[in-house]
Structure 1
Amino acid sequence: MPPLPGFSDNPFRTRDDVLLAATSLLSALEPHKSPCGARIKLPTATGTGFDEISAQLEGYARPLWVVADLLSMNSESPSDAQSHAKLDLKSWICGLEAGVDPGSDSYWGELGDCDQRMVEMEPIAYALLTAPEIFFPSEQSKQQRLITWLRSINEHELPPSNWRWFRVLVNLALVRTCGVLYDEVKSIMDLDLALLDSFYLGGGWSSDGLWAKDKKQADYYSGSFAIQYAQLAYVRFAKEIDPERVERYISEARVFSETFWRYFDADGAAIPFGRSLTYRFAFAAFWSAAVTAEVSFDTYLEELGLVKGLILRHLRWWAQKTDIFNSDGTLNIGYTYPNMYMSEDYNSPQSVYWSLKTFSILALPAGHLFWTCEELPHPLATQSLSLVQEDNASPLERIEVVEPAMQIICSRKEHHFLLSAGQFTKKTHKAREAKYSKLAYSSAFAFSVPTGPSLAQSAPDSTLSVSEDDGETWRARWEPLEARIQRMKISFEMNGKGLTEDSPALISAWQPWRSSGLKIETTLVPSLERWPGWHFRIHKVTGSTMQAVQCIDAGFAISSQSRKGGNLPVLSTTWSLNTGSEAEETDELAGEGFWQEEAACLVISDAGASGICDLTDRFKQSLPGRQRTHNRSSKGSILKPDANTNLIAQRTLIPTIQHDFMEMRTRENGEDVNIEEAACFVTGVFAVAASAKLSPEEIRRMWRDKPMFSMERYR
């Protein structure tokens, strides 16, 4: 896809740069506006689970996240107005009047229960709160039509999720801007706010709906996409009517920031996780909302230049992804390229403009400290990676446990990713297993979504897949049970000395089939400084009465393209795991390709390196309980999944280890009897991002240094 001038070539250093990018994004929408401005329909024929009028309302409403601030700037700064003079911003004013007028051909329609129109009311409310003198009409009849349409949200059911914030902000706009008495809407606001506050998990995090048996979600809706962003809007506009809650939300934002910054790599990339990832650079919207609400941070982000860096680096990362645009300059559905496999049932062509929430930072005038201060590097960008035993630095300085989300963020130089154990939803979001229940998610390698039921179509990167019918059907990990965080003492040898390291671990279980007693408990151990590029999984299989089970443990999906654009070569399979061999030395000259053998496989491409290794035999002494390993055969293989399954790379390879358990039941007196012993296998997952700028020789050296340590639970 062609780049978008003003965005794709944007250095994102100054306020003028950000303003130019916003103007470029909005300019692409101009040809697609309805005559009165109330609807925008991009020239893409895909549909949604809701009606077409609502989809075109999305096109009108979602740009308001930045249009409202641009219009407000016009009245305050003639120079700002000149910078986007070619934009017809007044069409959004006319569009609001027409959209709420039942007599207009562009009327947005009456609301029903759980109606998509409710979602689009939030940016309309934001516009009324941000620029009331511009968006609230002067004529009484027009005022009344707007009030009537907005108030109708109070007459209908909303799901018990982040949607309740839409109604809170609509009612806040009715009170602050439209002249509705607070007492008339206070009771419903109080009920909604009480429900929203009940989602709080601690550490600044809220789940999207109650954290319950059928739904455990704490993703970007907890922060930038919805809840934290809305709370910070409430901080800006509800100080007078609800000062106590405003202070609490400020405190929650500060605590949230202490872990949320770790989801962004030093190069600006965020770790994709959860749903609605087509909202792209809205990942950084929390930071914009916090700065515009004048919320200051402590600890790692005390200086405003650090927050500035998080926002601008993220925008610069997206500026490099030119395939996010259609040929007319509008945004497409997808992540780094057009992709309907990862889209949601509620993604219309216009939905993607939720991404403009990050541009609300333009509400700050040119003289604000945010724009005048120096952009500072990522908090971990200059940190030393020296081993803890040598310099007494914290062994967890690049590892952070995010307990509310049941995740561990790993921010090593080699690779920025998270481990996840406790999230899932029974709501039928497309690819829900992939979006919430994989074992790892990466800012460099993202994750993959399925296109169909076969193994290659399921694209099972960074997860465990199980089959009970000799590979005819597969179940990917989902609905984790008994998720918890555990401290581990890791013991290993280095240079002839016995060393120990403290590490967190995530433990959870999973039952692939309710009709079977099969249960798999997985312990996830993050990367250790002793073995850069590696993290670890210990799987314990118990309770099955089946004759045979196959398990596939998979690493990160990685681009299968060579630096010249062709396919990666298949290189020697006769190389040693631990020492260089003549065949491997020959392969060194290639610098890229993929290798596979009995218990390991590795891919090196333009995206970095991704590998996996069966480490069970190296960990036998530290595995708990009586272990049955005689009935297990294991094989490393490179899986070629369907094209366009990965969010970042269109063509990928996935390194995997397949374990075949040949006897998963026993018989006594002619009857099947459950096996009480556990069958364990241990996996080492290896990954190095291209951004680490390591040579193939360095990567190969790290790969050959296979981990071996013992592990003991405590605390």
Structure 2
Amino acid sequence: MSPLQGFTDNPFETRSDLVRAAVSLLSALEPYKSKCNARIKIHSATAAGFDETAAQLEGFARPLWVVPFLLNESASGIVDFESWIHGLKAGTDPKSAEYWGDLGDFDQRMVEMESIACALLAKPDSIIQSFSDEQKTNLTNWLRQINHNRMPQNNWLWFRVFVNLALVKSLGVLQDELQAQIDQDLKTLDSFQLGEGWSSDGQWGAERKQADYYSGSFAIQFAQLLYIRFAGNEDEARTEMYRQSARDFGATFWRYFDQHGAAIPFGRSMTYRFAFAAFWSAVACAGIELPAPLNNVGVVKGLLLRHLRWWSKRPDIFNADGTLNIGFTYPNMYLSENYNSPQSVYWCLKSFIVLMLPGEHDFWAAEELPHPSLLSSTPTLPQVQVIWPPRHILCNTPEHHFLLSSGQMTRKSHKAREAKYGKFAYSSAFGFSVPCGPLLEQLAPDSTLSVSHDGGDTWKVRAEPQDERVLPTKVSATPHRVLALASEWRPWKYLDISITTVLVPLMETLPGWHVRIHRVKLKNFDRSSLCDNMLDIIDSGFALDAETAQGGFITNTEAFLGTENGCCVDATGCLLRSRAGTVGIVDLTPQTDFQVSKQGNSQIQSKAFMLRADSNTNLIASRTFIPSVRHTLLPSASEITEVKQVTRDRELWLATGVFAVAGSAGIDQQAVLNMWRHQPGLRVGVVDGELEVSVL
């Protein structure tokens, strides 16, 4: 891959820097414009699940998140910004060879209407001043189609809201004709709210429990802020509600960004990349005053600009021609969704909406301030915080920036949905991995459980957790209780197995560590349907970049003293070190004091190992190793002699310590080893039917 001048060499400090970056991103698209400028097709043969015309419309429409704010910039000699005006005319003209087509139900064209509508709302005169009456009519008629076709009941409803606002405010359609539809859509969208400023992407329920970056920057919260900007004076009650939502949401959303600007990848549409920060851009545009520690526009400015700087140091996001590729830090089709065309990635330009603010605006004059965790005015900020609407515990610790997760899922047909929503932990330093096939190495099951009942021929990874809840846990030598997350998972519908897992963040007392306690219940098994190895359970830690600075793989070593990288495995633990940092896992089951029934634990064989994941499965590193522990539940003597008998119910308990320190933390190697050696001890019991966990 090649660096993109104007972006990868950009300091991202001033408005002019953002203009330069936007121009560089758009200039790479110039060779791929169609004759009438209504379509853009990047030089790639990959396809999305919708038709090619809609895919090429994506290429035209998504740059409109920034084009209107560059029309009067001196860089117009590099990029032909007027071509987007010509393209808008051709794309909405039914007589044009480049007409975008009539809409159908659930049509991708609805999505692309959002950026067109917001451009019209932000800069109506600049866009339509050269339109003839017929061209205005064409544009109006094409946009109005969104009201006559069915759409998903999720973030898409915001697209229709903005289209109807643009029809009224910019194209002269009577408000009475469209207000009922606007009101209905806003009422549905508001029903997605989960509290604390969060919204789910659709109704939270049995089919989906999703509260990810769509809830923050890609669509919903981002859209609420633009609604304040475009319609705040006409819908004061709702916009005040959205202002409060932004305040509540922003008060915790900053925790998803580390001190260097990296965001924790989680959920779907990771290829939208720096759209993670679009919320901060929209906060500035809406003029929202956030609560402490964000009660200075310089803090918001820093969150946005540091994130863009982090991406500027990732040149592999660009193809050789300067266009963005599908992937995260490098090109990767495994993580893509069925709705990702080569042009889809330009939704990242939502983060550049801040260019709506003119150069003399206070935002640009404000001094950029550090990450909230580094502000001297907020020394008492907790490093670990439960954020309940998304069922996350955010861990903003110096050693490692990550989140613990329980409770999210979707039954929608998103690729790698189990990996994107069902893992125990997600990290800004180590990313997460997505599957490329059914074998264990292809599943790349970092930070999750994998189970098999057929000797490892097939595997199930954690998905669709249920009964999520917060549990207080006791930690010795501290005056307070640590809040943990608990949830239950049933791997198979046809077998009565349930696994309840408690995730306990310990990094405030034991830096680098969190623990997982698994309660496995097995009921009414017919042994004739199972292999000799009754059940295999693999618990895995964070995936680590497996390459050395010289381009080789990290190798086995007996000790880490004086070594920069290596892999050390013994009977109970696995520790890996590379240029990316240090990760490890240890089976704590033998030294855990289980004050509960442990039926079946005597038949468990456990072994730590290093899993070599298939290449290109991790979002951040293309070659990774995963520290893991494998538990095999063996049949009892009675089950061996009477294979067809129904086994008695069993309950077994497992405990795992997971360790991680990011290389970016800059911690001395010996100090990291000392942290690894300070492994936690646990006491686990059941009180009134509820797990009680104490850390010794």
TM-score, normalised on structure 2?
Answer: 0.95
Match of 2:138 in 1: 145
CA-CA distance at 1:711 after TM superposition = 5.9
Supply the distance in 2 between the matched residues of 1:521 and 1:568 (Cα, whole angstroms).
35
SS state of the match for residue 229, structure 2?
helix
SS state of the match for residue 657, structure 2?
strand
Aligned residues of 1:272 and 1:442 also touching (Cα < 8 A) = yes
Letter of the 1:49 partner, please give it: G
Supply the distance in 2 between the matched residues of 1:560 and 1:380 (Cα, whole angstroms).
30
Letter of the 2:153 partner, please give it: P
* Change in 2 beyond 3 A, CA 1:663/1:14: same
Aligned residues of 1:465 and 1:476 also touching (Cα < 8 A) = yes
CA-CA distance at 1:114 after TM superposition = 0.3
Supply the distance in 1 between the matched residues of 2:77 and 2:243 (Cα, whole angstroms).
36
Match of 1:245 in 2: 238
Supply the distance in 1 between the matched residues of 2:488 and 2:167 (Cα, whole angstroms).
48
Match of 2:586 in 1: 613
SS state of the match for residue 611, structure 1?
strand
Identical columns (%) = 53
Supply the distance in 2 between the matched residues of 1:4 and 1:461 (Cα, whole angstroms).
32
SS state of the match for residue 404, structure 1?
coil
Aligned residues of 2:684 and 2:692 also touching (Cα < 8 A) = no
Supply the distance in 1 between the matched residues of 2:423 and 2:653 (Cα, whole angstroms).
19
* Change in 2 beyond 3 A, CA 1:603/1:616: same
1:693 to 666, 673, 680: 666
Supply the distance in 2 between the matched residues of 1:197 and 1:664 (Cα, whole angstroms).
55
Letter of the 1:35 partner, please give it: K
Structure 1: tracts of 5 or more residues without a match: 75-80, 386-392, 492-497, 573-583
CA-CA distance at 1:253 after TM superposition = 0.7
Match of 1:431 in 2: 416
Letter of the 1:181 partner, please give it: L
Q: Does 1:543 align with 2:530?
A: no
SS state of the match for residue 630, structure 1?
helix
Match of 1:651 in 2: 623
CA-CA distance at 1:186 after TM superposition = 1.1
Give the alignment of 1:17-32 within 5 angstroms.
17-32=17-32
CA-CA distance at 1:450 after TM superposition = 0.4
Letter of the 1:165 partner, please give it: W
Match of 2:14 in 1: 14
Match of 1:484 in 2: 469
2:266 to 265, 273, 286: 273
Supply the distance in 2 between the matched residues of 1:673 and 1:7 (Cα, whole angstroms).
64
Aligned residues of 2:593 and 2:682 also touching (Cα < 8 A) = no
Give the alignment of 1:527-606 within 5 angstroms.
527-544=506-523, 545=525, 548-572=534-558, 584=559, 587-606=560-579
Match of 2:688 in 1: none
Match of 1:515 in 2: 494
Match of 2:633 in 1: 661
CA-CA distance at 1:502 after TM superposition = 1.2
Aligned residues of 1:604 and 1:696 also touching (Cα < 8 A) = no
CA-CA distance at 1:469 after TM superposition = 0.5
* Change in 2 beyond 3 A, CA 1:650/1:113: same
Letter of the 1:571 partner, please give it: T
Moved more, 694-703 or 144-153: 694-703
Supply the distance in 2 between the matched residues of 1:665 and 1:460 (Cα, whole angstroms).
32
Aligned residues of 2:68 and 2:123 also touching (Cα < 8 A) = yes
SS state of the match for residue 266, structure 2?
coil
Give the alignment of 1:152-301 within 5 angstroms.
152-301=145-294
CA-CA distance at 1:433 after TM superposition = 0.3
Give the alignment of 1:449-488 within 5 angstroms.
449-488=434-473
Aligned residues of 1:533 and 1:687 also touching (Cα < 8 A) = yes
Letter of the 2:506 partner, please give it: S
Match of 1:95 in 2: 87
Aligned residues of 2:593 and 2:684 also touching (Cα < 8 A) = no
Aligned residues of 1:214 and 1:426 also touching (Cα < 8 A) = yes
* Change in 2 beyond 3 A, CA 1:515/1:532: same
Aligned residues of 1:594 and 1:601 also touching (Cα < 8 A) = yes
* Change in 2 beyond 3 A, CA 1:383/1:653: farther
Deviation readout 1:249-308 (Å, 9 max, x if unpaired): 111011000111000000100000011110000000001011111111012100111111
CA-CA distance at 1:678 after TM superposition = 2.0
Aligned residues of 1:489 and 1:711 also touching (Cα < 8 A) = no
Supply the distance in 1 between the matched residues of 2:192 and 2:620 (Cα, whole angstroms).
32
Aligned residues of 1:664 and 1:675 also touching (Cα < 8 A) = no
Letter of the 1:148 partner, please give it: N
Letter of the 1:650 partner, please give it: S
SS state of the match for residue 293, structure 2?
helix
Report the number of matched residues. Answer: 679
CA-CA distance at 1:366 after TM superposition = 1.4
CA-CA distance at 1:701 after TM superposition = 1.2
Letter of the 2:405 partner, please give it: S
Deviation readout 1:323-368 (Å, 9 max, x if unpaired): 0000000000000000000001110000000000001111111121
Moved more, 625-634 or 442-451: 625-634
CA-CA distance at 1:699 after TM superposition = 1.3
Q: Does 1:107 align with 2:99?
A: yes
Aligned residues of 1:549 and 1:664 also touching (Cα < 8 A) = no
Match of 1:53 in 2: 53
Letter of the 1:589 partner, please give it: G
Structure 2: tracts of 5 or more residues without a match: 686-690
